[in-house]
A = this chain, B = another copy of it.
């Protein structure tokens, strides 16, 4: 278990406050069907039905249970950040309900218990999410135990995992299978880390290694059940990353959320089992994503069809899916890559996925959410297109497939778990933000206090608090965007450091009150995509520090496609209309104007001087509906 940072600054405290005061109560209303003009969730009621405490019929998706588990996981982090007796009592009631709903043998899935019938369980592991839900059950139980120290929930999870271990595995009589939607693999690793019970690590390892082996389990399972073995997805099992074994997978394919949940477990298992071939496999997939499948904002999954990865370099800004859950999952994966091997690039992607890929999924009140995160919205007519129907130009109240809001809630609530990575070699600081983290350095507890207005400002002061002087390595991620220009002082003087794969490493004896002062370059940057990305040719995106910026109709008027960025200084201005300390940008540009009304004309359009206002992409859509554009036209002269 890695050290957890406690947020002490405005930025993350406000987000955690939003989660605590709005998202968690709002989601509780949803789970208990108290939201008006929103499809009922029925998730809690399904458990009451399974527990025999209520009469009625099952309602919802096959994975409805997971909404309750994700809510409980969010509650756990919330209680860690701000103890709340009433909320904890409510969670304990739900946990009691889960115990009542759980079968004697440990099975727990209300869809099969209430609707499909227990005799049908494990007959469609590919599509029906029993192991996926179980994974979220385990993750929530682990988090709740870590925060509260209470065992009741963990016991339910162990009982479920022990039962699953009797059903799945290489041994004769067990199902040599794996879930259609990965999730339980990384959950079992978490359960192992907190219980130290190797059975769980081994079961996770089995799921990972068995996946994609011939004969393909999904085909055999379907034939056995008399279903068509063909997947609706191009007829193979790329959709669930089950087409070939993990060590033969060279390209990230299929459903993006499933993929990154899977890769997260692969990274964990490579580390915990000291498996170099698995490490190479996950590094290859990481490289493919970063080189060919990653949007500038840390979004992944360009294809609405299948909520999936598209082909290499096919990154359409207007029709992309970029599910919020996928960027959240990318953060999960990046965190585990850092644990596997501390590299600055993993931290860069982690930071990008959090700030630019995930936070955009929720409005600044915590009441509206985005499932799909386009980088370009071209006005009402384009939104009418059938191939744009997945794009919602404004955030929604709740989804009947409610995966994203709770996923975002657990990321924000648990953000403190992403700040540092502890290894035998030393302590690596991945993320910056006002916070306190107690780490283990040189065998003893050391507190790192970050004081900063990051992500708005680039100056970070880190104070070391230690009872006695301690010798060891503290390493600080040097963001890719600050490579050329940064400053590192220790107690006010330039210190010698090693650049270890993108981390500024200081190995020395640390005394109480030592201060590390980092200054990163917050100059706005013009970023260009490689020419292999057709959709971004001739375009430029503006970033500042860790944040990707965007133009909105609200500031620039309609038809953002008529704007061209020109040479000249980009001016950064503090603008607190939506968030304290927020920084907006003003970019010199030109606006294209046609000189006549003809549909097609030989009269060249003019370009008139203008200036373009940008705000951080994650803040878009908080001031009414309108056009959006991250990649702006670049005037090459």
Contact = CB atoms under 8 A, between A and B. Distances in A.
A424 interface: no
B310 A530 contact: no
A385 B305 CA distance: 8
Contacts of A291: 599
B633 A303 contact: no
A384 interface: yes
A452 interface: no
Interface string A276-320: 000000000000001110101000000111100011111010010
A1 interface: no
Contact of A528 (B312, B381, B600): B600
A597 interface: yes
A537 B562 contact: yes
Given A526-B602, A537-B592, A538-B633, A381 B562 contact: no
Nearest to A294: B599
A538 B635 CA distance: 10
A602 B380 CA distance: 33
A528 B601 contact: yes
Given A311-B384, A386-B304, A526 B604 contact: yes
B387 A305 contact: yes
Contact of A538 (B313, B379, B526, B592): B592
A603 interface: yes
A104 B598 CA distance: 55
A541 B379 CA distance: 24
B386 A305 contact: yes
A205 to B, nearest CB: 32
A428 interface: no
B592 A527 contact: no
Nearest to A319: B387
A559 B531 contact: yes
Number of copies: 2
Interface string A600-637: 11111101000000000000000000000000010111
Contact of A635 (B292, B312, B602, B636): B636
A599 B290 CA distance: 8
A153 interface: no
A600 B529 contact: yes
A525 interface: yes
A593 interface: yes
Nearest to A593: B531
Nearest to A481: B602
A387 B561 CA distance: 22
Contact of A381 (B314, B525, B603): B314
Chain B CB within 10 Å, residue with most, of A385, A533, A561? A385
A192 B239 CA distance: 58
Interface in A372-391: 378-382, 384-387
Chain B CB within 10 Å, residue with most, of A530, A562, A637? A530
B538 A382 contact: no
A314 B385 contact: yes
Chain B CB within 10 Å, residue with most, of A559, A597, A600? A600
A112 interface: no
Contacts of A305: 385-387
A637 B566 CA distance: 12
A385 B303 contact: yes
Contact of A562 (B385, B531, B602): B531
Interface in A44-63: none
Nearest to A293: B599
A28 interface: no
A601 B304 CA distance: 27
A534 interface: yes
Interface in A567-595: 592-594
Given A537-B561, A561-B537, A607-B636, A530 B296 contact: no
A76 to B, nearest CB: 36
A117 to B, nearest CB: 32
A527 B600 contact: yes
A450 to B, nearest CB: 27
A597 B533 CA distance: 11
Given A529-B600, A531-B593, A537-B592, 4 more contacts: A528-B602, A530-B596, A531-B594, A538-B592
17 contacts: A291-B599, A296-B600, A305-B386, A305-B387, A306-B386, A310-B381, A310-B384, A310-B385, A311-B382, A311-B384, A313-B381, A319-B387, A387-B387, A528-B603, A528-B604, A533-B599, A538-B592
Interface of A: 290-292, 294, 296, 303-306, 310-314, 316, 319, 378-382, 384-387, 525-534, 537-538, 541, 559, 561-562, 564, 592-594, 596-605, 607, 633, 635-637
9 shortest A-B CB distances, which residue pairs? A305-B386, A637-B637, A311-B381, A387-B387, A531-B594, A537-B561, A314-B381, A534-B561, A311-B384
